[in-house]
A and B are shown apart, each in its own frame.
Chain A
């Protein structure tokens, strides 16, 4: 069966510090990968998606970036965090195809001080 791992579960960072969140998927190959942010009481905002190694599409311009160095590894980064970057970050994977559901990790709660 497939599993998705996301870490860390919680993170407290000062403004201006760098960020690296990692997500890995097991049990499947060539998945679509996604990064979302969920603000308190808000819906899921798609940040990045990837259909293959090295292929990243950005949905929202911001100071975040994503990379996919391996087939089942997806990394969310920032060089300098802003207060507005606080939120709940979720990684997800799906098989190819519009009808495929997405499978989410348990998220990272990021607080910027």
Chain B
């Protein structure tokens, strides 16, 4: 079951802080890594990472993949209360099956 492991499980910060969320994954048949933000109930797509060392950015969020060390990080700078959510990391396997495996998520709480 531990094909995707996220840390920390929960994090509480204050507005303006910078946070780094971690995701490590199993290398077998690895194709890509995804990050999602889950507010209330439904996850929304953030990033897809396939190549190592190439940073993807969207506003205050950025993410990078390290295929040598088998992990990815999601950075959020100048956090806002609206960033409070569960952040999910997911691994896509290669091949025709295209299995998608999610980690358990990191619960981020941003206090005013």
| Chains A and B form a bound pair | no
